[in-house]
Structure 1
Amino acid sequence: MGQKSAVVIYSGGMDSFTVLNRAIADGLTVHALSFHYGQRHSKELDYAANVCEKLGISHKVVDIRAINTLLAGSALTSDIDVPDAEYAEGNMKATVVPNRNMILLSLAIGYAVSIDADEVYYGAHSGDHDIYPDCRPVFVEAMNQVSQLANYKPIPVVSPYLYQSKIDILRDGLSLGLDYSQTWTCYNGREKACGKCSACRERLQAFAALGLTDPLPYENA
């Protein structure tokens, strides 16, 4: 029996970077899959490409920006200000892209079937549960069930950090020796991370909780 392989949904952010490297560390042959869906922080895709080139792994970037004619209303894709606030439901509903993860997972599952991969890896974690319905265990578990029914080859959806926090993800990544300067988290795609949006705040809080300094450059730092 040959080595198992996985399609990893890889945004270029901190969480998916850790998932990608966790899959590699667990002995899987990895096929990274990134999506350009019109996100204002598309800078993350450059980070993703750089990491995959350094690791020498397969990386496909799919342009699905046309779907934004259907999925308007998110601060990540439309002309709406990104909230400069804590990571809480009232602040972060503006960053929800309608049905995003169901769409991305469906495409990743189809890709996995087409290249005969065994699994799809996806970086949902417990810190997203309150805000994003498509990161909650009930959704991920349902997608896992559907994925194994939708094609002749069952494709499990694996979320290794589904019940863990951002701090847990960072801790595991550091145990793998990962360099988080190779990731982009900020919802604003400027030259440096803003340090104010909820994504930056959550990231900085994770580093602070472990007594560490984030290696990514920040504005006004």
Structure 2
Amino acid sequence: MKTLVICSGGLDSVSLAHIVAGQGRLSRLVSFDYGQRHRKELDFAAAAARRLDVPHHLMDLRPIGAALAGSALTDDIAVPDGHYAEDTMRITVVPNRNAIMLAIGFGIAAAQGDEAVATAVHGGDHFIYPDCRPAFTQAFAAMQRAALDGHADVRLHVPFVHRTKACIVREGALHGTPFAETWSCYKGGDIHCGRCGTCVERREAFHLADVADPTAYADPGYWLAAVASRKGR
């Protein structure tokens, strides 16, 4: 089943790309520039496409991103520190982001003859992002069946939607994912900050997966306090 992977350049989506490639199903990667402050991850998505020897479609959604105001990922709003599951991380929500990206991905897949669109949404995303939850992915898959009825049969592949980020790290490691060649940090500095929610979640995932973390963090010990604070609630 030829599969298009939505790839941001982050740990989850690059791991998914390597897993799908290892299964002999990867057809292409699709990434989106929506004016995100951490857009350096797009370079890692492009590198993944070169490494896996598949086409890379970079879609320019900057005008759309500019209209989706109010998120710390698109506006000049400080990215909060702390655990990913804190209420403060809601400021990183970009309304309908996954719905928009998946709709484009399905259009490309139908046009290019692909049979599936894969995205790396996972259980850790459910608390913050409504368009990463099982109810959304199930509804979206049903909508796309109707949208492409009689034209193309493209399935939605969400292998991690009921799994944790630690599961992604373990499976990604089994498929040779070069984790150092992925970018997660929402602050977009020279190295991962180690303090924002996605850095904390990344570091915790490697710990729980018992896989060595090759990432350089500006504050490599902060995650321990963030996790302890969350557990103490």
How would you bin the TM-score normalised by the shorter chain? over 0.9
Q: Are positions 1:163 and 2:162 aligned together?
A: yes
Aligned-residue RMSD, C-alpha: 1.2
Letter in structure 1 aligned against 2:164: S
Flag structure 1 segments of 5+ consecutive residues without an equivalent: none
The alignment partner of 1:171 has SS state of helix
Alignment correspondent of 2:171: 172
CA displacement, residues 63-84 of structure 1 (integer Å, 9 cap, x when unaligned): 1100123200000000100011
CA displacement, residues 98-148 of structure 1 (integer Å, 9 cap, x when unaligned): 110000000000111111111100111001111110000000011111111
Q: How does 1:1-221 map to 2 (within 5 A)?
A: 4-151=1-148, 152-221=151-220
The alignment partner of 2:200 has SS state of helix
What percentage of aligned pairs have identical amino acids? 41
The alignment partner of 1:61 has SS state of strand
Letter in structure 1 aligned against 2:138: E
Letter in structure 2 aligned against 1:210: A
Q: How many residues get paired? A: 218
How far 1:218 moved relative to its partner? 1.5
Cα distance between partner residues in 1 of 2:154 and 2:22: 20
How far 1:86 moved relative to its partner? 1.0
The alignment partner of 1:157 has SS state of strand
Tell me if structure 2 keeps the 8 A contact 1:120–1:157: yes
Structure-1-length-normalised TM-score:
0.95
Letter in structure 1 aligned against 2:188: G
Tell me if structure 1 keeps the 8 A contact 2:5–2:26: no
CA displacement, residues 176-221 of structure 1 (integer Å, 9 cap, x when unaligned): 1222001000001111110000000000001122334421222145
Structure-2-length-normalised TM-score:
0.90
Cα distance between partner residues in 1 of 2:186 and 2:93: 12
Flag structure 2 segments of 5+ consecutive residues without an equivalent: 221-233
